[in-house]
């Protein structure tokens, strides 16, 4: 079976013996006859093959190996085998993901498949990265609120929706593309537990890193601080060779066109008004 999608303006063609049910978030991203696609082949067997190359590192459930040409990225399913994906360091056109019969139903579920097939790593090679953030569109511009879980990024997005008529596109993740035509935010077909998942793209106006506060205070971040905040909140673990360098180069290119702010904010309309005033004054809105 083959299913085709367009995500962040990139064609994605996924082949597998079968697909688990429950792909409602991905339906809006389905597109036939995608061109210049990333071709991902999913294979199922009793056991996973051995990784290729030397051990690069381990973070949480991910283990990475590389021989200088191919990356082997293993995603564990608790204490058991989950998925093992092989892809080229310099080529994002194709990859092969291996699953066990036991793991496939879980790892290829559409809530988790983006991670098990290494979509963040493949898309980075096409100048796209995924950020942990709530993404809204207001007056035709994308505004992104990023922060660790539980900080209030979804609250700020909801306040903008309530008081300024913004559209919340995704409550947990956003794709950011950097290209000759500018920097764009994109809806993606995975949204954590937020349940908000729309296929909408818009020019990126600003990225706001938020923290809870008793009073609203906004500062424009310099390039060094911006990159550090982006590094902490992107869906990349930087275990593969050159991955961090690729990301930093992409972030620098983005920062030439998109401002980043830190916002200490209250959970009410005062935060909306304070940020709106700042963004209007600096020509973002």
pLDDT tens-digit map of 36-86: 789 999 999 999 999 999 999 999 889 999 999 999 999 998 878 899 999
DSSP helix/strand/coil, 75: strand
**What is residue 249's predicted lDDT score, i.e. its pLDDT?**
95
Point out the domain boundary residue: 92, 109, 124: 124
From CA 41, how far away is CA 20, in angstroms rounded? 15
Is there a single domain that holds both residue 114 and residue 152? no
For residues 256-278, average pLDDT: 93
Which residue, of 92, 124, 156, is where some domain finishes? 124
Whether residue 155 is found in the same domain as residue 61: no
User: Sorting pLDDT into bands at 50, 70 and 90, what band is 277?
Assistant: very high
Residue-level pLDDT at 233: 93
Same structural domain, 230 and 246: yes
Q: Are 167 and 198 in contact (CB under 8 A)?
A: yes
CA 106 to chain centre: 20
* Structural domain harbouring 63: 2-124
Same domain, 142 and 88: no
pLDDT of 152 over the 90 cut = no
The pLDDT of residue 150 is above 70 = yes
pLDDT digit string, tens, across residues 60-69: 889 999 999 9
- Quote the mean pLDDT of the chain: 91
Which pLDDT score, from 0 to 100, does residue 78 have? Answer: 81
Q: Specify the pLDDT at position 194.
A: 73
CA atoms within 13 A on the CB side of 140: 2
3-state helix, strand, coil in the chain (%, to 5): 25, 40, 35
pLDDT per residue as tens digits for the range 82-114: 999 999 988 778 999 999 999 998 888 877 889
HSE-up of residue 47 (Cα within 13 Å, Cβ side): 3
Q: For residue 23, what pLDDT is reported?
A: 64
DSSP-derived 3-state class of residue 97: strand
Question: How many domains does the structure of the chain reveal?
Answer: 2
- Facing residues of 62 across strands? 59, 75
Residues 6+ apart with CB under 8 A from 16: 1, 41, 42, 44, 108
Q: Is 242 helix (H, G, I), strand (E, B) or coil?
A: coil
Which of 236, 245, 261 lies closest to 156 in space, CA to CA? 261
143 and 224 assigned to the same domain: yes
Mean predicted confidence (pLDDT) in 123-130: 95
Confidence of residue 25 (pLDDT cuts 50, 70, 90): confident
Determine the pLDDT at residue 22. 65
Task: Say yes or no to pLDDT of 276 above 80.
Answer: yes
Q: Do 104 and 80 fall within a single domain?
A: yes
Q: In what side-by-side order are the strands of the sheet with 94-100? A: 2-7, 10-15, 38-45, 94-100, 80-88, 70-77, 62-66, 54-59
pLDDT for residue 169: 96
What does DSSP assign to residue 270? H
Which CATH number goes with the domain that contains 188? 3.90.228.20
The pLDDT of residue 37: 85
C-alpha 73: how far from its chain's center?
17
Q: Pick from 84, 104, 124: which residue ends a domain?
A: 124
How far apart CA 110 and CA 112 sit, in angstroms, is: 5
> Helices 223-233 and 243-255 sit at what angle, rounded to 10 degrees?
130
Please tell me whether residues 12 and 111 are part of one structural domain. yes
Average pLDDT, integer, range 113-140: 94
pLDDT tens track for 177-236? 999 899 999 999 988 777 788 999 999 999 999 988 899 999 999 999 999 999 999 999
């Amino acid at each position: 079976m083959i299913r085709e999608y367009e995500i962040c303006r990139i064609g994605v063609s996924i082949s597998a013996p079968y697909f688990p049910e429950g792909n409602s978030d991905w339906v809006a991203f389905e597109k036939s006859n995608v061109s210049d696609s990333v071709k991902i082949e999913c294979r199922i067997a009793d056991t996973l093959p051995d990784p290729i190359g030397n051990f690069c590192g381990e973070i949480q459930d991910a283990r990475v190996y590389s021989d200088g040409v191919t990356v082997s990225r293993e995603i564990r399913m608790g204490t058991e085998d989950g998925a093992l994906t092989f892809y080229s360091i310099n080529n994002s056109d194709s990859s092969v993901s291996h699953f066990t019969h036991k793991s496939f139903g879980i790892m290829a579920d559409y809530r988790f498949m983006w991670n098990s097939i290494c979509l963040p790593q493949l898309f980075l090679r096409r100048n796209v990265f995924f950020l942990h953030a709530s993404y809204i569109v207001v007056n035709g511009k994308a505004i992104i609120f990023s922060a660790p879980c539980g900080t209030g990024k979804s609250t700020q997005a909801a306040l903008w929706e309530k008081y300024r008529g913004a559209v919340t596109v995704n409550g947990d993740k956003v794709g950011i593309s950097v290209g000759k035509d500018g920097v764009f935010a994109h809806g993606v077909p995975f949204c954590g537990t937020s349940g908000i998942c729309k296929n909408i793209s818009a020019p990126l106006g600003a990225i706001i890193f938020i923290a809870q506060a008793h009073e609203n205070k906004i500062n424009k971040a310099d390039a060094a601080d911006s990159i550090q905040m982006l590094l902490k909140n992107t869906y990349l673990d930087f275990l593969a060779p050159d991955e961090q360098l690729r990301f930093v180069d992409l972030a620098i290119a983005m920062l030439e066109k998109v401002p980043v702010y830190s916002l200490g904010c209250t959970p009410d309309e005062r935060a909306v008004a304070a940020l709106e005033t700042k963004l209007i004054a600096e020509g973002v809105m």
